[in-house]
Amino acid sequence: MSRIGILTFLHNGNYGSSLQAYALQSVIAGMGYSCEHMDYRPDAREKIVNLLRSGNSPKLLLDGWRKRQVQGAQAGMRTKMQRIEAFYEKHMRRSRPCANKRELEAVSREYEILVCGSDQIWNPVWLNPVYFLDFDDPAKPRIAYAPSLGIRAAPGRRKSRMIRRMLSVFDAVSVREEEGARLLVTITGDRPEVMPDPVCLLEREAWEEIAEGQPGGEPYLLCYFIGENPAYWEKVQQMAQDTGLRPLVIPVNADAYAQPFDRLDGAGPEAFLGAVRGAEMICTDSFHGLVFGTIFEKKTELLRRYREDDPESKNSRVDHFMREIREKGLAEMRQEGRSWLEQQLKEAGADGDGPGKDVLSTDAACVSD
């Protein structure tokens, strides 16, 4: 049986990243293939080396330091990270941990086919060649399933040249947003397919199987914000006043911890799903907050995190998703994504046991070697 290695974000402490990784592995396993995530956990030296080689802004290191400060100061954030790790242990297959490109490249040799995606792994702002599967063996089949570039404006010449070179060895490329497809046309001359985020490939019932029960107490307005903006909380106050709902905050930054509302602190991915499923309404600036609100059929108030004139604006993610929902709906998006992925795996020569159960069995899951 062909072994398939998947590479995406696993260790940024984000619910959406964790759940899209789970979904992609679950769907590929459900098609009858042996697959696992390459467990890339870059250490501090690796991050600095990549920043210098890729020409990324030093601000990324400052942002990462600030995020770690919040995590270190809040017991709930530390608990959240532990629960994300427990989610992986229970539900997903992973390789041995890889602290740098050299170790990751060695692990990649253990697979017959490599898949990268989804999430913003191709965002040029924090460009990292490993997420383009930039390894020594160019002959090994490579498939990109719906990575996001996240931005509308093309990167500079240096990064554009790097991206063009790295994509030249891929057998099949899809991206998550139409805007990303247009950017790659300007960079490479080739237009990739546009496919939905992996979380859309699983039906609502599959998510309900792993979701925890909803939080107790009075009916609530679930508030989940990645960005920090005083206007968010003014909107929450207004919505609470208009609806009579109790604001319940899933905090991920210092701004959220400072608010005088009930908190669902330290929640893991299963509790996050349960909170979305149990909400009366949702207010969020998160792409995956919007997507899961749609999956669970919740009225969702989306707040835009970026100014439209911001060259690093990532609003294209939510804009594309809302267009697709209006024009196609989740069922058609799911079918398109699954069909494309299955076809590309077959063309890459993947050998499997035939269709199985999408959601990975907890008994079958294995952890790092």
Paired with 300 in beta bridges are: 282
Residues 341, 28 contacting (CB under 8 angstroms): yes
The CATH number that applies at residue 278 is 3.40.50.2000
The CATH number that applies at residue 91 is 3.40.50
Is residue 97 in a domain?
yes
> Are 40 and 180 part of one and the same domain?
yes
pLDDT tens, position by position, 31-78? 999 999 999 999 999 999 999 999 999 888 788 777 777 777 889 999
Edge-to-edge strand ranges of the sheet holding 193-194: 34-37, 3-7, 113-116, 142-144, 172-175, 193-194
pLDDT score of 357 more than 60: no
> Are 261 and 294 part of one and the same domain?
yes
> Are 30 and 175 part of one and the same domain?
yes
Tokens of 7: 């590479």
pLDDT score of 310 more than 60: no
Q: How many separate domains does the chain show?
A: 2
Is residue 311 in a domain?
no
pLDDT tens, position by position, 164-196? 999 999 999 999 999 999 999 999 999 999 999
Q: Binning pLDDT at 50, 70 and 90, where does residue 369 land?
A: very low
Is residue 316 in a domain?
no
Q: Binning pLDDT at 50, 70 and 90, where does residue 355 land?
A: low
**What pLDDT was estimated at residue 364?**
33
Is residue 310 in a domain?
no
> Are 118 and 183 part of one and the same domain?
yes
Residue 146's Cβ-count burial label (10 Å; 0-12, 13-18, 19+) is buried
Range(s) of the domain holding residue 132: 3-204+330-347
Long-range contacts of 162-170 (CB under 8 A, 24+ apart): 162/54, 162/127, 162/129, 163/122, 163/124, 163/127, 163/132, 163/187, 163/188, 164/188, 166/129, 166/132, 166/133, 166/134, 167/132, 169/138, 169/142, 170/133, 170/142, 170/143, 170/144
**What pLDDT was estimated at residue 69?**
77
Higher pLDDT, 264 or 308: 264
Q: To the nearest whole number, what is the mean pLDDT of the chain?
A: 91
> Are 239 and 113 part of one and the same domain?
no
pLDDT tens, position by position, 266-305? 999 999 999 999 999 999 999 999 999 999 999 999 998 7
> Are 161 and 66 part of one and the same domain?
yes
Quote helix, strand, coil % in the chain, to nearest 5. Answer: 45, 10, 40
pLDDT score of 362 more than 70: no
Percentage of the residues of the chain whose pLDDT score is greater than 90: 81
> Are 223 and 246 part of one and the same domain?
yes
Is residue 118 in a domain?
yes
